[in-house]
Amino acid sequence: MSEIRGKIYGVAGPTVIAKGMDGVKMNTVCLVGNSGLLAEVIRIREGLATLQVYEDTGGLTVGQEVVSHAKPLTVLLGPGLLSNIYDGTQRPLYKIKEAGGDFIGKGLKVSPMDTAKPWPFIPLKKQGDAVTEGDVLGTIQETECISHKVMVPPGVSGTVKTIASAEVSGRAPVCTFEDGSFVNLYQDWPVRKPRPFIAKLPPSMPFITGQRMFDTLLPVVLGGTAIVPGGFGTGKTVVEQTIAKYGRADIVIYIGCGERGNEMTEILTDFPALKDPVTGLPLSHRTVIIVNTSNMPVAAREASLFTGVTIAEYYRDMGYNVALLADSISRWAEALREISSRLEEMPGEEGFPPHLATHLGSFYERSGKVRCLGPEDRYGSITVISAVSPPGGDFSEPVTQASLRFAGALWALDPDLAYRRHFPAVNWQASFSLYYNELKDWFTKEVSPEMQGLRQRLLKLLQRENELKEIIQIIGVEALQESDRLMLEAAIIARDTFLKQSVFNEADAFNSYEKQFWMMKVIFAFADNAEAALKRGVYIEKIIDTPLRADVMAMQDIPSIGFAQKAEALIEAIEREFGAAE
């Protein structure tokens, strides 16, 4: 389709109304004004097209030209994505700085990747092979830890005529077919169109974060969704950064959506220096960061989620497990609200557009574990963990409630826990996981048949602690029965050793499931032996003051490797101590 040219009819903040755009289609990209600002068509009515502009609209005037090439908003996919930092429309921020200085210039066009860079290519197909969509033509070592699979794009098939055998770049085809068509190293994909797959699979295994609170009590499956709502200062960003570093994902996509500039500065300076605890290589070698701070254009903020999830789908299609971390969904929704108000749409609750939940669903539903395109059995997943910033910590507000429609796990952050320096500050009573039933078989087979029983017992212990606290407020702790005092002590140990975790302690920052299981074993060995000693007449003060209590409380400082043996030795010491007590 030939280009369509119109004129600016009106400007209102990030929205521009253009006339003379007959034939323009929804969700296609336009270049606006003398500087060629990037924009997208979001409404067509009575001969006028409304555009959301992804750059600062200051300086636009009525009558300036608007050009459409009838293409949707796309991202460029190919080797070189990893270790990069983009804005919401995939402009590389470091390259923009080199081209235009510290501030993003209007209409500045920079390629997301260096398409002229040669990459060493290892072909997996040969002349005469019949290939179809999703087939892997060859591999490129994109970073030291990630092998980039060059795949036949969706909707393409043919018989290989020629295929590269050494270095490849964006200037020459990787593969040509007998019918004259070809496959390039780089491809464009519309951000609002999900990439296809063969089938979405039911949840079967957990997404391992290394955090005891999440892995044992509130697990999320590989390919699942979790939301992390919390007020200011409760540790949402710390949770997301911790999972980015220690979560067992092959690829991490971090979207800083509308956050403060100083927070994003910390991420941009810290991430390149972080070491992957598994490979020892820089964490950035398997990370893509998308940044749209609160002072950047709101339209680009709205697009940033879809830019991030499209890149995530691309690596998912290679068979990788991708963690997509969005911080925060509330800031994204605020951008949606601002755009909606410019369009003079009927507002819903708290001014958010009525289609808020639908728009959120189009993002969350792109998570999941899938069988990828291609003849081989290749499986990949996208696990979405998004922070929510409800005003005043009110979880009844629209964004949190809309997110709950799609989330399989809720990790509710509590300001009281945060103020007590209890991190992660997750309120285990207000949180839930809908995935645990699907994971029971995995826990039984991969961890221990006792895992489910220990988890249930821990939850009952924490519930009993809350009941006892209410009684204490009435009658005081001294009036409790000794058995209840002992249970309260066991709950304190469980809370301060198992639920509390330090990301600054190398031994405690990541816990394997084996360590989590044995920590619970030790806690309940202490509780059971103490209860038995109490029944034999041992004074409760002697039980509480045993030196072994300090050893139990210090379990976090023992690394995961070799923890089982040390835990067994500690259990034996507990049994000897209380068995000999009189």
Q: What is the mean pLDDT of residues 2-23?
A: 90
Select from 535, 516, 524, 513 the least CA-distant residue to 579: 535
Tell me, yes or no, whether 430 and 468 share the same domain. no
Q: What is the pLDDT of residue 211?
A: 94
Same domain, 371 and 407: yes
Q: What percentage of the chain exceeds 70 in pLDDT?
A: 99
From 389, 415, 436, the end of a domain falls on 436
Chain segment 189-226, per-residue pLDDT in tens: 999 999 999 999 998 899 999 999 999 999 999 999 99
- Per the structure, the complete domain to which residue 375 belongs is given by 225-436
Q: What is the 3-state secondary structure (H, E, C) of 277-327?
A: CCCCCEHHHHEEEEEECCCCCHHHHHHHHHHHHHHHHHHHHCCCEEEEEEE
Q: What is the pLDDT of residue 503?
A: 82
Q: How sure is the predictor about 476, in pLDDT bands with cuts at 50, 70 and 90?
A: confident
Per-residue pLDDT tens over the stretch 164-193 = 988 898 888 999 999 989 999 999 999 999
Identify the bridge partners of residue 187 per DSSP, sorted by sequence position: 77
What is residue 110's predicted lDDT score, i.e. its pLDDT? 86
List the one residue out of 327, 332, 333, 334 whose CA is nearest residue 266. Answer: 327
C-alpha to C-alpha distance for 186 and 79, rounded to whole angstroms:
8
Q: Is residue 186 part of a domain?
A: no
pTM of the predicted protein model? 0.93
Answer yes or no: do 373 and 272 share one domain: yes
Q: Same domain for 360 and 491?
A: no
> Which one-letter amino acid corresponds to residue 545?
D
Of the candidates 197, 328, 363, the one whose C-alpha atom is nearest the C-alpha of residue 258 is 328
- Count of beta carbons in the 10 Å neighbourhood of residue 382: 26
Last residue of a domain, one of 409, 436, 463: 436
Write out the two tokens for 66: 């608007």
41 & 166 share domain: no
Structural domain contains residue 81: no
Vertex 301 angle, CA 296 and 306, to 5°: 150
Q: Which helix (H) or strand (E) holds 95?
A: helix 93-100
CA 105 from chain centre, in angstroms, equals: 30
- Which pLDDT score is estimated for 580? 65
Asked if residue 403 has a cis previous peptide bond (ω within 30° of 0), the answer is no
State the sign of the Cα–Cα–Cα–Cα dihedral 349, 355, 361, 362.
negative
Range of weakest confidence among 101-110, 306-315, 499-508: 101-110
Which is it for strands 432-433 and 175-177: parallel, antiparallel or unpaired?
A: unpaired
Is 375 among the domain residues?
yes
Q: Are the beta carbons of 306 and 52 closer than 8 angstroms?
A: no
Q: What pLDDT sits at residue 46?
A: 84
Match 């979880």 to its residue by tokens.
395
How distant, in Å, are the alpha carbons of 60, 69, 96, 299 from that of 107? 12, 16, 11, 15
Structure-block tokens of residue 558: 């023992």
Residues 140 and 246 in one domain: no
Per-residue exposure over 439-459, b if at least 16 CB sit within 10 Å of its own CB, e if not: beebbeeebbeebeebbebbe
**How crowded is the C-beta side of 235, counted as CA atoms within 13 Å?**
24
- Interval 535-548 mean pLDDT: 86
CA-to-CA distance for 292 and 297, rounded, in angstroms?
Answer: 8
Contact, 538 vs 569, CB < 8 A?
no
| pLDDT tens-digit map of 407-446 | 999 999 999 999 988 889 999 999 999 999 999 999 999 9
Range of 55-59, 69-73, 222-226, 336-340 with top mean pLDDT:
222-226
Q: What is the CATH number of the domain that holds 559?
A: 1.10.1140.10
Q: What is the CATH number of the domain that holds 155?
A: 2.40.50.100
Q: What is the pLDDT averaged over residues 84-103? A: 83
Q: Which residues contact 285 (CB under 8 A, 6 or more apart)?
A: 82, 83, 143, 144, 145, 146, 276
- Whether residues 262 and 171 share a domain: the answer is no
Provide the residue type at 396 as one letter: S
pLDDT band at 462 (very low <50, low <70, confident <90, very high): very high
Quickly count: other Cβ atoms within 10 Å of residue 351's Cβ: 12
- Residue 253, pLDDT above cutoff 70: yes
Question: Is 194 within 8 Å of 316 (Cβ atoms)?
Answer: no
Alpha carbons 126 and 532: distance in angstroms, whole number: 72
- Cis bond leading into 424, ω under 30°? yes
The confidence band for 482, taking pLDDT boundaries of 50, 70 and 90, is: confident
Tell me, yes or no, whether 174 and 311 share the same domain.
no
Assess if residue 108 is contained within a domain. no
* Average pLDDT score, the chain: 90
Q: What are the beta bridge partners of residue 48? A: 19, 45
- 174 and 232 within one domain: no
- Res. 13 pLDDT band, cuts 50 70 90: confident
Instruction: For residues 160 and 274, state if they share a domain.
Output: no
- pLDDT (average), residues 371-380: 92
For the chain, count helices (H), then strands (E).
Answer: 17, 26
In this model, does residue 581 exceed pLDDT 60?
no
Q: List beta partners, residue 158.
A: 131
CATH number reported for the structural domain that contains residue 317 in this entry: 3.40.50.300
At 376, the pLDDT band (50, 70, 90 cuts) reads: confident
**CB neighbours of residue 394 within 10 Å:** 10
Written as six digits, the tokens of 440 are 């029971």
- List the structure tokens of 364: 């969350």
Q: Residue 11: what are its φ and ψ, rounded to 5°?
A: -135, 130
Total domains in the fold of the chain: 4
Kindly state whether residues 325 and 237 are assigned to the same domain.
yes
Q: How confident is the model at residue 366 (pLDDT cuts 50, 70, 90)?
A: very high
- The residue whose two tokens read 């509308």 is 258
Residue 125 predicted with pLDDT over 70: yes
pLDDT of residue 213: 94
Interaxial angle between packed helices 451-475 and 482-494, expressed in degrees from 0 to 180 and rounded to the nearest 10: 120
Instruction: Please state the length of the chain.
Output: 582
Do 476 and 390 lie in one domain? The reply is no
Final residue belonging to a domain, choices 407, 436, 465: 436
